[in-house]
Structure 1
Amino acid sequence: MIKLMKQLKPFKLAIAAVLILVFLQSMGDLYLPTLMSDIVDKGIVQGDRSYIWRIGGFMLLVAAGGAVCSIIASYLSAKVAAGFGKNTRSRMFNHVENFTLHEFDKLGTASLITRTTNDITQVQTVLTMMLRMMIGAPMMMIGGIIMAISEDAKLSLIFVVVIPLLVGAILFIGMKGLPLFKAIQVKLDKLNRVLREHLTGIRVIRSFNRISHENERFTEANKDLTDTAIKVNKIMAGLMPLMMLVMNFSMIAILYFGGIRIGDGDLQVGSLMAFIQYAMQIMFSLIMVSMMFVLIPRASASALRINEVLDMQPEITDPTAGQLQSTATATHKDGRSSMHGFVEFDNVSFSYPGAEQPALTGISFSAKPGEITAIIGGTGSGKSTLLSMIPRFYDVSEGAVRVDGVDVREMTQEELRNKIGYIPQKAVLFTGTINENIRYGKEEATEEEIIHAAKIAQAYDFVSAMKDGFNSEISQGGGNVSGGQKQRLSIARALVRKPEIYLFDDSFSALDFKTDAKLRAALKGETTESTVVIVAQRVSTVMDADRIIVLDEGQIAGMGTHRELMDNSEVYREIVSSQLSEEEIA
């Protein structure tokens, strides 16, 4: 919690103003009982009406001044807390954007969403109260004790018993509640994960008649969260009745012993009334502190979870200024000046964290501009993993991946990815128009460039047939277009960028054979100056490639043209024979 509070530096002037205003309000509130005591003892008892009016008017001014201070302090504290929440969310979002896929897997998407929204909101809510209560309450309590002692020191001995009782109760209940609040946030993550899986996988759930099973999963996660919330609320609910019980017994004691002292002539009625007011202020200050103890444990648990994300350093980072190398001056091993889009794998090996076997071993090949390099292999052979090495979604364990003669680890991620047009295995579209989705690849793209990219990607016909054409809305996740349409729009998004390197990660799988053939034919004319790397399952997609790389269990089992591999690669022949008839092979 303290670590997060360092983010309040931009608001130090507003915080200072809140402190001053809360101090002035507290001084005013502490002064009012003394004025009331004077009205009773000097005005009412002595029958001095002018004194009553004069002091009463002054009391109104003090009360009005306190109200104005309170309103301004509330406004400023809310503004500070909202600004803190906004800045922390932005900082967290920007930090998470730098995470590798490994960090995402480690924390989980559901947990990251909860931490960015719910956890920050918890801290923000407590911060608003802290700026008012955590400063005002101690001031009121200490000031109240001083003023009560000034009214009657002997009667103030009641607080020697009362205050330790209340403080002990607050600490005991706070310590009991903290572990449960931590558990609530973890269980909220679990509930979010179950709900997210249910909503994203609704088609699979319905097709397999697993609705009742999913209902049981959700009910279990929901009940677990509810039971923990009820348990912690039961503990916290006991705090307020305990506080009120102690406070009421304190009032009885004050009235009893105060009455005795008035009878003995040691205390005046007005002073007793002021003493009761100060006692109430002290008690309510402790109640405010107790309310903070209800919220602080949960906010502390949330702050720990936020710091866990902010403290997690991405495995993949940009090189330092000394390590940075520009592709403009790079040369290859043989001394040739670099070509734009030249990709080279040099004895690359890679293992996923915790995996027993490497996903890739000893991969070496090069892909040149104007050529199509295809990668084919069985499921789990490492095709997509190999492709992920180029945009540096993962870093190699051994060897090097070079783009334009420069190791990708010696380039900034922005410079590297500006050269790449990536089409993922699972097509991803964003909420917005088709125009906006294609322009995602190049913000400044003109209408002509968007239309041209759509035509090459074989998307123009179905987009034109839609009611609003390129201004048609895409729903969340692209739910209102088919799988093939999503893939074609994803390809158009990469084409409009006109990158040096195209990476197609099984991006033709949802297309029919006719559309697949037309798209590949159109791509040939569009990518003559770019390097094209295609991962595919279909033999028909890779047959015409300039170079086909056959992967088997993370190793290269063959490399060459279709005809060369048919002659010398058994693995490739098995793949071909499993997909094509003898007539097609011939």
Structure 2
Amino acid sequence: MIRTLGKHIKGYITASILTPLCMLAEVVVENFIPLLMSVIIDSIGTGDLKKIYITSAIMLLLALAGLITGFGGGVFGAKASTGFAKNLRKAMFANIQTFSFSNIDKFSTAGLVTRLTTDVTNIQNAYQMILRMAVRAPFSLIVAMIMAFSVSPKMASVYLIAVIILGIILAFITGGAFKYFSQVFKKYDELNESVQENVTAMRVVKAYVREDYERKKFSKASYNVYKMFIKAEGIVSLNAPIMMTTVYSCILIISWLSAQAIVAGGNLPPNLTTGNLTSLLAYCMNILMSLMMLSMVFVMITMSLSSGKRIAEVLNEKADIVNPTNPDYDVPDGSITFKNVNFRYNQTSEKPILENINIHINSGETIGIMGGTGSAKSSFVNLISRLYDIEPPADENTESYLLVGGKDVKSYDLDTLRQEVSVVLQKNVLFSGSILDNLRWGDPNATEEECIRACKLACADEFIEKMPDKYNTHIEQGGANVSGGQKQRLCIARALLKKPKILILDDSTSAVDTLTDSRIRKAFKEEIPDTTKIIIAQRISSIMDADRIIVLDDGKINGIGTHNELLENNEIYREVYMQQSNDNGDFDKKGGEA
């Protein structure tokens, strides 16, 4: 973990070195001041004004030096820690972009958000504390202890005993707090997940009047975080009273022993002066305050260890799908061949999601896919653009591969393959920005005329032209200000702008009325005849004109053929067709839109 995180200090190594150097200089300067103060106090008694003035001037210079070094430590520490945090966020986000779907499935969205925000902030604070306090506190303790022993070894032994006792107590405190801090960030994931689900599904929440339920759900998640922090902070809060008790006890003991030495002439050195006593008390505060700071550093490090592990998990996660050594940058055509293809999301699962898939799709062909929920329709098309990889063959004698353009998908450069295979997923996503901004996700260099043409093919131009700002209309995050059908048509237009060799529509016209759906399919047939079109649909009317239709059932191909052929020889297809044909309640026959 430390090695993984340490790589990302790059660019801020100088600031990371200068910070502890400034802190060390500040400690040295500060610990000379009590010694000079004792000289001034003793000089007052002798009336040596010249010595007082000279010593005061030296103290002033040392104080100024301490101010400069302390300020430098703060500036360099802030630069190093914030830069470190910036690098971590950048590296995590960059690595997430390389993840395949199987990688993403290992982390929840809320968990990734927590890692990029709360966890990185904890590491940032801990790193700054390590550079400053973790250097300053132990060095200050050691220097103050040396200074105290140089004044009076017997008196300083009181501090040494106190440090040992406090060290043992603080070890128990930090150990007790660790187990709670290690659990609290999992509770943060639950809290963020509650917020994320509530905000993204606000319409559903209000439609079902579930605000009270969501409030209770959030309150429970928030209370769990509160409860964990209370337990952890309750243990940590013991630091202050124990520390203060020790500080005041040391002051009382030293004052009592010093009084004996100065006034009563006890066993302690009789030359212990009032100035020496003052410096000893100052060193007492320095030593014990340094120990308190050190304990807080341990607590912060303890808390950040959990964050560090979570961040390292993301940084160390290797993409399951990567480019080959010598990738192919040319996709000849849109032909697709499945040969003995099996696929499963979890390699430990007994049954594959897709089993023994064999089919060849010609370039330019229109293929319909239908099947019940869970029949692996989306899994089938996700393999084509290599969002997942197929399962290796069970034995050496069995050939198993997936070809696109006559070449194995694993031989292609990923960007090239995915540029030629355009997918409109079930969950359509639009981003905040204008309609043109969203369309140009398909082609950043597309002209406005090209965008308009794509929208006409997707039957989106008709509603865009009715908007006040037309193609410059602002789309809210997630496409909240457009209907489901409008969102689907914009996503189809965006996919068309890529000018792909293969176009996959994964149930992407489900919210579009049958008339518009028919017009979109007609435009595809006439305007992009050379593009292979794969259409997943629940409505048979959306795929009945396809060149061939694949019926999937429980991850297997149950039937392949034209609409008429399947009506004759496939029971599943015939049953669905009869059910939909007898359904007189088709709401969108008149051209209405969801």
Return the TM-score normalized by structure 2. 0.92
Question: In the alignment, what sits opposite 1:520?
Answer: 521
Letter in 1 for 2:31: L
2:340 corresponds, among 347, 350, 353, to: 347
Pairwise CA distance, 1:327: 5.8
Secondary structure of the structure 2 residue equivalent to 1:45? helix
Q: Assess if the C-alpha contact under 8 Å between 2:328 and 2:413 holds in 1.
A: no
Aligned to 2:237: 237
- The residue that corresponds to 1:431 in the other structure is 432
Residue in 2 aligned with 1:486? Answer: 487
Alpha-carbon contact 2:329-2:416 (below 8 Å) kept? no
> Within 2, Cα distance between the matches of 1:2 and 1:271?
45
Q: Map residues 252-401 of structure 1 onto 2, 5 A cutoff.
A: 252-263=252-263, 264=265, 265-319=270-324, 321=325, 324-326=326-328, 328=330, 339-353=332-346, 354-397=348-391, 398=393, 399-401=400-402
Q: Deviations over 1:216-273 (max 9, x none)?
A: 3222222222122111111111111110110111111111112222233321111111
Q: How many residues are treated as equivalent by the alignment?
A: 570
1:326 alignment partner AA:
D
Paired position in structure 2 for 1:30: 31
Q: Percent identity?
A: 38
Aligned pairs for 1:209-248 (under 5 A) are 209-248=209-248
Q: Answer yes or no: is the 8 Å Cα contact 1:327–1:404 preserved in 2.
A: no
Query: Is this contact kept in 2: 1:182–1:301, CA < 8 A?
Result: yes
The superposition leaves residues 17-40 of structure 1 with CA deviations (integer Å, 9 ceiling, x where unpaired) of 222211211111111112112222
How far apart are 1:312 and its partner, in Å? 2.6
Q: Is the 8 A contact 1:367 1:533 kept in 2?
A: no
1:132, distance to aligned residue in structure 2 (A): 0.8
Alpha-carbon displacement from aligned partner over 1:472-512 (angstroms, at most 9, x marks no partner): 11112111110000001101111111111111111111100
* C-alpha contact 2:9 2:87 (8 A) present in aligned 1: no
Partners of 1:188 and 1:552 in 2: how far apart? 40
Please say if residues 325 and 406 of structure 1, whose CA atoms lie closer than 8 Å, have aligned partners that are also in contact.
no
Contact 1:548/1:562 (<8 A) preserved: yes
**TM-aligned CA deviation for residue 151 of structure 1:** 0.8
Measure how far apart 1:97 and its partner are.
2.0
By how many angstroms is 1:441 displaced?
1.1
Aligned-partner Cα distance in 1 for 2:256–2:277? 11
Instruction: Indicate how the Cα distance of structure 1 residues 440 and 541 shifts in structure 2: closer, same or farther if over 3 A, else same.
Output: same
Cα distance in structure 2, aligned partners of 1:222 and 1:326: 51
Partners in 1 of 2:550 and 2:7 — Cα distance?
53
Residues 137, 288 of structure 1: 8 Å contact kept: yes
The answer for unaligned runs of 5 or more in structure 1 is 329-337
| 3-state SS of paired residue (1:497) | coil
CA distance in 2, matches of 1:154, 1:516: 93
Superposed CA RMSD: 1.9
Q: Which residue of 1 aligns with 2:591?
A: none
Q: Distance in 1 between matches of 2:163 and 2:327?
A: 67
Map of 1:543 onto structure 2: 544
**Code of the aligned partner of 2:496:** L
Greater shift in the superposed pair: 471-480 or 356-365: 356-365
Residue 572 of structure 2 is matched in structure 1 by 571
User: Within 1, Cα distance between the matches of 2:7 and 2:145?
Assistant: 32
Higher alpha-carbon deviation: 307-316 or 182-191 = 307-316
* CA deviation vs aligned residue, 1:114-168 (integer Å, no higher than 9, x gap): 1111101111011112111001111111101111111111111102320011111
CA distance in 2, matches of 1:255, 1:6: 51
Is 1:141 paired with 2:135?
no
SS at the partner of 1:548? strand
CA shift at 1:53, angstroms?
Answer: 1.6
Do the aligned partners of 1:327 and 1:406 also contact (CA within 8 Å) in 2?
no
Partner of 1:332: none
User: Aligned letter for 1:523?
Assistant: F
Matched letter for residue 319 of structure 2: P
Segments of 5+ residues of structure 2 without an aligned counterpart are 394-399, 585-594
CA contact (8 A) 1:369 1:528 kept: no
> C-alpha deviations, 1:82-111, integer Å up to 9, x for none?
111011011111112222323323321111
Q: Which amino acid aligns with 1:439?
A: R
What is the DSSP-based 3-state SS (H/G/I as helix, E as strand, rest coil) of the residue aligned with 1:402?
strand
Q: Distance in 2 between matches of 1:526 and 1:266?
A: 104
